[in-house]
Amino acid sequence: MITMEDIIREGNPILRQVAKDVPLPASDEEKDTLRKMLEFLKNSQNEEIAKKYGLRAGIGIAAPQIAMSKRMIALYLDDENGKHYEYMLFNPKIISHSVENTYLEGGEGCLSVDRDVPGFVPRHARVKVKAFDIDGHPVTLRLKGYPAVAIQHEIDHLDGILFYDHINKDDPFKIPDHVAEEDVY
């Protein structure tokens, strides 16, 4: 299983690399890693298991965070209405997004960042993402709100970007442009 010891931290240059596309069909090893990434998220949100193994709760994880510079992400979260989202994706790509932006009032955190970095992280309010599922089938996702923010955080990891890169240096809590009231979470 994946534990916190497998998660690399800021300062490791792998987190700043642009990850490589996974040639499809993915290998059994790549698929196995992707399944383990989702399992890590589930474990990290299970109080008992998280405590036992010292896991920090995560709603998403990208392969570069376990030192594998390949375009693979997993997500495991509930949105503000309690709807559950669970994905294992190869080669996710944002193909279109809203003009409107959003941000989480509480800011963002990262399993690869062992400190609090306060500030608003501007994100697209809605995104359309094309990717391939674990079986290599193409999928198109239309996401808004919390899941949209989460997938943008993960796709950023594939491009060597960390959440705090987006925070306004001079004014971390400046409200991003083009944010509608209903898009703040």
As annotated, the binding site for Fe cation includes: 110, 153, 157
Which residue in the list 48, 154, 181, 182 is annotated as catalytic?
154
Cβ atoms within 10 Å, residue 26: 20
Per CB under 5 A, the segment of 22-30, 99-107, 109-117, 132-140 that binds Ni ion is 109-117
Q: How far is the CB of 153 from ligand SB7 (least distance, A)?
A: 4
Between 38 and 110, whose beta carbon lies closer to Ni ion? Answer: 110
Between 63 and 110, whose beta carbon lies closer to Ni ion? Answer: 110
What distance in Å separates the CA atoms of residue 87 and residue 102, rounded to the nearest whole number?
Answer: 22
Between 115 and 137, whose beta carbon lies closer to ligand SB7? Answer: 115
Q: How far is the CB of 62 from ligand SB7 (least distance, A)?
A: 5
Between 25 and 67, whose beta carbon lies closer to ligand SB7? Answer: 67
The reply to whether 105 belongs to the active site is: no
Please provide the DSSP assignment of the chain as one string.
Answer: ---GGG---TT-GGGGSPPBPPPSSPPHHHHHHHHHHHHHHHHHTSHHHHHHHTPPP-SEEEGGGGT--BSEEEEEEE-TTS-EEEEEEEEEEEEEE-S-EEE-TT---BTTB-S---S---EESEEEEEEE-TTS-EEEEEEEHHHHHHHHHHHHHHTT--GGGGS-SS-TTPPPSSEEEEEE-
- Please report, as ranges, the residues that interact with ligand SB7 according to CB under 6 A: 58-62, 65, 104, 108-112, 149-150, 153-154, 157
The interface partner of residue 119, options being ligand SB7, Ni ion, none and the CB cut-off 5 to 8 Å by kind, is none
Would you say 88 and 133 are in contact if contact means Cβ atoms under 8 Å apart? yes
The interface partner of residue 61, options being Ni ion, ligand SB7, none and the CB cut-off 5 to 8 Å by kind, is ligand SB7
Residue from 74, 110, 141, 155 binding Ni ion (CB under 5 A): 110
Question: Binding residues for Ni ion, per CB under 5 A?
Answer: 110
Active site (catalytic) residues = 154
